[in-house]
A = this chain, B = another copy of it.
Amino acid sequence: MDIKFCTACGSPTELKIPVDDDHVRSVCTNCGLVHYNNPKVVVGCIPEFNGQVLLCKRNIEPRKGKWTLPAGYLENGESVQDGALRETLEETRAKVSIIDAYRLFNIVFVDQIYFMFRANLMSDEFGPTNESIDVRLFDEKDIPWDDIAFEVIKQTLEHYFQDRKKGDFPFKIFDLR
């Protein structure tokens, strides 16, 4: 996000390195407020039910019509677990319980961190929402690999099915480049 005007007083900002800092920041030319821009956290999960995985078909851009796992920006006031549950409910109407943390992906070129959990569907209640035109359980063999919305979601699913063969799901960090 470009910060052209000060959030506190509305005056123009300038780009400079503040005293005792080592990064260029947007600094207010009037009140001196330093504006920080930090990476955003995206939280989501892999909802499981009887060996199947729940995917949702995006009803919004970007990648409208493509399939994905429920995930979205972490909001102020919630834990990463809370955020993953909320996003799952918003995108699939499903209630899940978290099994464990599974993957962290650094996506530095868009200043995002994806934090993905494994989770159990608590019932077979799920369905379309404002954000998802379709919500469905998939066996591994039926995953629409060529129609997955985002590379990070594709990799999460690939890792997941590989780990499932071994019956072990260690938490790991990967960098998307």
Contacts and interface: CB of A to CB of B under 8 A. Distances in A.
Nearest to A23: B75
Interface of A: 1-12, 20, 22-23, 35-41, 73-81, 90, 101, 104, 106, 108, 111, 113, 130, 171, 173, 175
Contact of A41 (B2, B9, B39, B81): B39
Interface SS majority for chain A: loop
Contacts of A175: 79
B40 A38 contact: yes
Interface centre among A7, A9, A36 (most CB of B within 10 A): A7
B38 A130 contact: no
| Number of copies of this protein chain within its complex | 2
Contacts of A77: 108, 111
Contact of A80 (B4, B75, B104): B104
B5 A6 contact: yes
Given A7-B2, A7-B5, A79 B108 contact: yes
A59 B83 CA distance: 35
Nearest to A76: B111
Nearest to A110: B76
A33 B88 CA distance: 26
B1 A7 contact: yes
A173 B36 CA distance: 26
Contacts of A10: 4-6, 10-12
B7 A38 contact: no
Given A40-B38, A79-B108, A113-B80, A9 B20 contact: no
B8 A4 contact: yes
Interface centre among A10, A11, A35, A39 (most CB of B within 10 A): A39
